[in-house]
């Protein structure tokens, strides 16, 4: 082998070694670059997740704190409206009460007409034949008249004989009647005040059914 | 028989090894820098604007509260209107029942 050939072989071998090294170096750098990309991408993703988690946490805590603050405001606002609603209703009730009392005090035509119905309703709710009708002193005469009329009506309509005694032991400012059996076992309270309270109590929910 | 100068070959291999080692060092340095960069990215991009979020939540909730107020005020106004429009009838009904002259 000539020196020239030997030199060529040697160069070829050296070239091969250098080429192999170049390949290796390229792979090392490429791999490092890929890894670098992965690390940075992963950091971006983790940062995004962490930011969302932190935002959610801040949002959750803020909601709790602000809702607490607002719940007092809500309760206060609702209470104020309820107070106003109560005032509206009470105004209405007081106006009705005044109207009823005026009518009862002056013994107006409505009161006199109603008194007959109240006595009849009360008597019809007592099973006993001996009945006591209690009214105030002012109404005694009217109630006696009415009671007679009703006794006759009941006899005609239900073929029932009843014996009615009228007593004027209700206070002067109490109107309507209380009817009870002579043995006091049955009672029917039909005074104006009890009817008013009952009706207002029953009617109020209907008024309140309009939400506030 | 080929008589090769192995000294040159060995030197070439040593030189190649040195370059590869250098590449490894360069790669390690790249990764070290990448990790530092990642740390910086994480810290930077995971930051939250707490005040901004709280303000936003406050705005949302106060808007809801305002709707609640509006809704309730409107219901109350309807109720009041209903009572005013029917005041006479309501009172008449209470009076009629109380006096026993209702139909």
DSSP for chain A, written as a single string: --HHHHHHHHHHHHHHHHHHHHHHHHHHHHHHHHHHHHHHHHHHHHHHHHHHHHHHHHHHHHHHHHHHHHHHHHHHHHHHHHHHHHHHHHHHHHHHHHHHHHHHHTT-HHHHHHHHHHHHHHHHT--SSEEEEEEETTTHHHHHHHHHHHHHHHHHHH----EEEEEEEE-TT--EEEEEETTS--EEEEEHHHHHHHHHHHHHHHHHTS--
Kindly state whether B103 is in contact with chain A, defined as any CB-CB distance less than 8 angstroms: no
What average pLDDT does range B24-53 have in this prediction? 97
pLDDT digits (tens, 9 = 90+) for A118-165: 999 999 999 999 999 999 999 999 999 999 999 998 889 888 899 999
CB pairs under 8 A between A and B: 198
**Percent of all residues in chain B with a pLDDT value above 90, rounded to a whole number:** 74
Distance (Å) from the alpha carbon of A39 to chain B's nearest alpha carbon: 7
Q: Which CATH superfamily is domain A107-209 in?
A: ATP synthase, E subunit, C-terminal (3.30.2320.30)
When CB atoms are compared, the residue of A63, A196, A211 closest to B61 is: A63
So what's the pLDDT on residue A154?
87
When CB atoms are compared, the residue of B26, B58, B99 closest to A111 is: B99
Domain chopping of chain A, boundaries: 1-81, 107-209
ipTM above 0.85, yes or no: no
So what's the pLDDT on residue A5?
82
Kindly state whether B27 is in contact with chain A, defined as any CB-CB distance less than 8 angstroms: yes
Does B65 contact A74 at a Cβ distance shorter than 8 Å?
yes
């Amino acid at each position: 082998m000539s020196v020239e050939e030997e030199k060529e072989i040697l160069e070829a071998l050296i070239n091969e070694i250098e080429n192999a090294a170049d390949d290796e170096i390229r792979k090392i750098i490429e791999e490092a670059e890929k890894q670098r990309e992965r690390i940075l991408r992963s950091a971006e993703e983790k940062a995004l997740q962490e930011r969302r988690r932190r935002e959610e946490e801040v949002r959750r805590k803020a909601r709790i704190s602000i809702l607490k603050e607002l719940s007092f405001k809500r309760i206060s606002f609702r209470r104020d409206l309820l107070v106003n609603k109560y005032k509206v209703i009470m105004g209405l009730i007081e106006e009705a009460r005044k109207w009823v009392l005026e009518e009862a005090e002056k013994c107006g035509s409505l009161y006199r007409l109603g008194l007959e119905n109240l006595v009849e309703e009360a008597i019809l709710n007592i099973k006993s034949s001996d009945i006591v009708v209690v009214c105030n002193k002012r109404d005694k005469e009217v109630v006696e008249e009415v009671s007679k009329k009703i006794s006759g009506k009941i006899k005609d309509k239900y073929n029932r004989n009843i014996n009615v005694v009228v007593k004027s032991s209700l206070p002067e400012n109490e109107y309507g009647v209380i009817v009870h059996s002579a043995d006091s076992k049955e009672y029917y309270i039909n005074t104006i005040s009890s009817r008013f309270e009952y009706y207002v109590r029953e009617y109020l929910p209907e008024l309140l059914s309009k939400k506030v | 028989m080929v008589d090769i100068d192995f000294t040159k070959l060995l030197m070439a291999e040593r030189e190649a090894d040195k370059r590869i080692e250098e590449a490894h060092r360069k790669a390690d340095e790249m990764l070290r820098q990448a990790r530092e960069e990642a740390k910086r990215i994480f810290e930077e991009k995971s930051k939250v604007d707490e005040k901004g979020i709280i303000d936003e939540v406050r705005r949302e909730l106060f808007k809801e509260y305002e709707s609640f107020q509006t809704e309730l005020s409107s219901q109350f106004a309807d109720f009041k209107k209903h009572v005013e429009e029917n005041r006479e009838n309501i009172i008449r009904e209470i009076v009629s029942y109380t006096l026993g002259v209702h139909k």
